[in-house]
Structure 1
């Protein structure tokens, strides 16, 4: 298993990224799985979807540093959680990478994406005209991926259906860097929040955004 990034985000939260180089059999060898999980695996067939599922679970197991069975499930809104554990978790994957974020204290959200030019064709679906007028966004592919990863991380942090990227999450102007942070205004059912989201670009063309904050 190749953990290429492992960072304590604060006193309570950890983010790790794993480059997927193992086969399905090698990943399975490191997991304890019950029948409902084996049923999920059989439905995924082969290929990247299966490798992503297996790698996020094995990375989670490694981060928690346990040989015990880890029961990772999803609630009605699609948010992952650990049965019989008070850790908050967030999972993401894209092509050759899996990312996991865990926290004892805070709700968390993480998103990793392979940077592609086609993001320009969908930018109006997740960014408002006001956001697109920002010079670091517009037609800047890196900037667009920062915004996408930030909004996806916020969505996962919130963990409830109904939060719309364009309508409810607003990226404030920021200075685009290879590694940096930005603030976003989030319109939640119980009021408006301002969150700080960190991001960085990898040397091989991926963008990652993450957030840890009380829910």
Structure 2
């Protein structure tokens, strides 16, 4: 693996992106796996899914800088967490990359997506009509910024059943290669406006958000 991007947002929040170059066997050799992790691996299809799962765990080990066992299960909503470390985390992966966001305080969310024209076909599945009207149907990169923002907030809030289309609204914004947007979450358990950061990373779009 090669570290391609490391950013500290402040003293308490940071994220890193790694390019996955090794086979699964090499990644497994860098980890301490318990019975639960081995069971998870056995259920994954061989290939990218396995590499993504392993790469995020190897990156966690790099960021925590510990020789000890890292217990990273998922809760009842599927949100990964550290059982034996105090930091809050969010994981993402897309094709040849894996990323981890980590906070010493509140929850975080991160999403990385390869930019492809196919998002135009599904835009109305995750965006309201007024959101699409503000964007324009040809704004592929802007749509990915919106998708990454909604995915990042979804990961931060951590509850199943929250709809990208029905419970999240992107406020109008001017797209740049690197910028911020505001997202209103209106869910049964939480109503809040989030400031979400987005930026182009090579041919990918990255979105990330912190609590408070």
Regarding TM over 0.5, the answer is yes
SS at match of 1:16: strand
TM-score normalised per structure 2: 0.97
Per-residue displacement from partner, 1:35-69 (whole Å, max 9, x unpaired)?
Answer: 22112112214210000000000001100111100
The equivalent of 1:179 in structure 2 is 178
Per-residue displacement from partner, 1:183-204 (whole Å, max 9, x unpaired)?
Answer: 111113245211100011122x
Matched, 1:66 2:58: no
In structure 2, list runs of 5 or more residues that go unmatched. none
Give the superposed CA RMSD. Answer: 1.1
Comparing 30-39 with 184-193, which one deviates more in the overlay?
A: 184-193
1:207 is aligned, of 194, 205, 210, to: 205
State the shift of 1:23 in Å: 1.0
Comparing 182-191 with 103-112, which one deviates more in the overlay?
A: 182-191
- Displaced runs of 4 or more, over 3 A: none
Per-residue displacement from partner, 1:83-122 (whole Å, max 9, x unpaired)?
Answer: 1222111000010000110101111000111111110000
In structure 1, list runs of 5 or more residues that go unmatched. none
TM-score normalised per structure 1: 0.95
Give 1:1-215 correspondences, 5 Å limit.
Answer: 1-135=1-135, 137-203=136-202, 205-214=203-212
State the number of aligned residues: 212
